[in-house]
Structure 1
Amino acid sequence: MAPRIKDGDAIVAVSGKWVSYAHTLFAYAAFFSALIVGMALHFHKIVQNEHYGYPDEWFPSVSATIGDRYPERSFFQVFIAITSGPRFALVFLWYLLTSRPNSTLPKVVAGVGLFRTLTCGGWTYVTSTDDHDWHDIFMISYLVATLPWTLGCLALSPKNRRAVKYRKIMASLFFGTLVPLIYFFIQHKVHKVPGATTAYTRYAFFEWSLVLFDVGFDAVTALDFDSFEFVVRDVNGVSRGYVQWLPK
């Protein structure tokens, strides 16, 4: 319900769930706009790896798609930069939602959430082409931090059965995907499996699945954040504006 305010007091009010919507939209746009542009412009180049190329490998990894070529790299970087605003807001709202007196876990989870956001910026703007080692360090740090973030969010989830159900599904899919991901990476990197088995192509599919499940896990916050509302208030009454409410 909208807060009771004086005429001209509030400029705009936005439901908190729009933070989740914006985060999900721009995060997916970052990855999949790069994939579409890359497949259209540089298909043979981005499916090429250190051992094999097309037709042995026929689907690009996430790193090859977002970091190796222009303009797909720029599509990814622009959209992921836009995503950072909703991302910081999402971590902040989750902390407000779960914070309790004398409870340390919400602070730890919020700190991990901020760390993940910063490491995401690391592997976004330090591409595998720029510096492969640092790109991998940021990426591995991000993936490692995903474990305490996911488990912490599950432990702190409000009593919303629908949200808890979807979080458990997304978390199970994410961590379940890591097993075949690691297996096919070893097949590619160590055993150099080529041809019909296409180890790196299969690895790439599981890598893209991680993107879907990672963003999907945080998208569930829309079911919790509809209890929040951002209000821009003109305390001096100089705007002469009227109250605008984004739809619930």
Structure 2
Amino acid sequence: MPASYSDHNKPVHFKVSLATLGKIVCSLPIFATCFCVIWSVIFNFESSTKTHCGVPNFLPSISAAIGDLTPQRYVWRVCIALHCSPRFMVAIAYYSYHTSIHVGQRNELYKTLAALCTFLHICENLALIGLTYVSSTENHDLHEKFFILFMVCSLIYMLLTTYVFSWGRSANGRSILHTERKSLRHKGSLFLFNISIFMFAVYLFFRHNAYCEPYVYTGFAACEYLTVLTNIAFHSTAVFDFEDFNLVLAQRDMVNKLERKHI
């Protein structure tokens, strides 16, 4: 058992488990999504569900729910701002988490893929910030580019992270732990569901634009919600991966430290 910071007469000013932090971070966009959609349906039904061709719908898209409507716009922006900052730290932490294992002769390739995962995670986070603060009504083209960047980075990140996680955790004949097996199973399942429901959402979007059928845009909106929620659920698997880690703010070296609870 390593010595704690207090053992060196250096007081710990702040400590929180990364599992707890992960739950808080993931709960913010879930709350924001549910609040914005429900509030829009109750108080802004007509304006949030109308489309360019005027067919009836009963669910708003996320862009419509968070765009120019208030208080939805403020709730969404505050929650996204609060949840994005810790995600940059988690993205960096994952590189250390993956590369803590040496996989043999192909270790350099493994470390490169781990670094690419971190880069994609950061890009996804930045794209989310962009599409949050540039609404579709303010600048539709830029909002659309941020959304495309978000989805491309998100899907590649989920696929690559699942592969890197599986490779590293089973390297050199290493026995995979129960929590690692659970995390890997959830990652694989959530990625497959996410890409499937997203492709169906794309189909419904183009079908609505081509034929303007009633309630097709509602189906698109429902698929959009599921795409967002499964993306959040994928990132929430960090709760399994970092369950033995704390985020510690101590006087030693005057920086944030990641402390392993059990060695």
TM range (shorter): 0.7 to 0.9
Q: SS in structure 2 opposite 1:11?
A: strand
Which residue of structure 2 aligns with residue 25 of structure 1? 27
Q: SS in structure 2 opposite 1:190?
A: helix
Q: Deviations over 1:218-247 (max 9, x none)?
A: 0011001112221111249xxxxxxxxxxx
- Displacement after TM superposition at 1:65 (Å): 0.6
- Which structure features the higher share of helix residues? 2
> Deviating runs (4+, > 6 A) in structure 1?
none
Contact 1:95 1:106 in 2 (8 A): yes
Q: Does 1:180 align with 2:196?
A: no
Corresponding residue to 1:148 among 156, 175, 199: 156
Which residue of structure 1 aligns with residue 18 of structure 2? 16
Q: SS in structure 2 opposite 1:104?
A: helix
The one-letter code sitting in structure 1 at the alignment partner of 2:114 is: P
TM (normalized to structure 2)? Answer: 0.83
Contact 1:93 1:225 in 2 (8 A): no
Contact 2:208 2:216 in 1 (8 A): yes
Query: Structure 1, unaligned stretches of length 5 or more?
Result: 237-248
Q: SS in structure 1 opposite 2:16?
A: strand
Which residue of structure 1 aligns with residue 143 of structure 2? 135
Q: SS in structure 2 opposite 1:211?
A: helix
Contact 1:22 1:86 in 2 (8 A): no
Find the aligned partners of 1:78 and 1:231 in 2 and give their Cα distance: 25
Q: Does 1:161 align with 2:186?
A: no
Which residue of structure 2 aligns with residue 208 of structure 1? 225
Find the aligned partners of 2:152 and 2:252 in 1 and give their Cα distance: 44
Corresponding residue to 2:212 among 186, 192, 198: 192
Contact 2:10 2:252 in 1 (8 A): no
Find the aligned partners of 2:203 and 2:212 in 1 and give their Cα distance: 12
Which residue of structure 2 aligns with residue 219 of structure 1? 236
Find the aligned partners of 1:220 and 1:235 in 2 and give their Cα distance: 30
Q: Tell me how large the CA RMSD over aligned residues is.
A: 2.3
Which residue of structure 2 aligns with residue 239 of structure 1? none
Contact 1:171 1:217 in 2 (8 A): yes
- Displacement after TM superposition at 1:64 (Å): 0.5
Q: Deviations over 1:136-193 (max 9, x none)?
A: 1100111011122011210122441110011111111101102321221111111222
Corresponding residue to 1:110 among 115, 118, 121: 118
Contact 2:131 2:147 in 1 (8 A): yes
Cα distance change, pair 3–174 in 1 and its aligned pair in 2 (3 A): farther
Which residue of structure 2 aligns with residue 244 of structure 1? none
TM (normalized to structure 1)? Answer: 0.87
The one-letter code sitting in structure 2 at the alignment partner of 1:182 is: V
Contact 2:26 2:232 in 1 (8 A): yes
Find the aligned partners of 1:98 and 1:222 in 2 and give their Cα distance: 15
The one-letter code sitting in structure 1 at the alignment partner of 2:72 is: E
Q: SS in structure 2 opposite 1:232?
A: strand
The one-letter code sitting in structure 2 at the alignment partner of 1:147 is: L
Find the aligned partners of 1:116 and 1:179 in 2 and give their Cα distance: 18
Find the aligned partners of 1:208 and 1:17 in 2 and give their Cα distance: 25
Q: Does 1:92 align with 2:92?
A: yes
The one-letter code sitting in structure 2 at the alignment partner of 1:13 is: K
Between the two structures, name the one with larger relative contact order (CA 8 Å, sep ≥ 6).
1
Q: Deviations over 1:93-127 (max 9, x none)?
A: 21221126632111111111111111111110000
Percentage of matched positions with identical amino acids: 24
- Displacement after TM superposition at 1:8 (Å): 5.3
Find the aligned partners of 2:149 and 2:230 in 1 and give their Cα distance: 18
- Displacement after TM superposition at 1:59 (Å): 0.6
Alignment of 1:19-98 (within 5 A): 19-52=21-54, 56-98=56-98
- Displacement after TM superposition at 1:32 (Å): 1.6
Corresponding residue to 2:134 among 103, 126, 130: 126
The one-letter code sitting in structure 2 at the alignment partner of 1:220 is: T
Contact 2:204 2:219 in 1 (8 A): yes
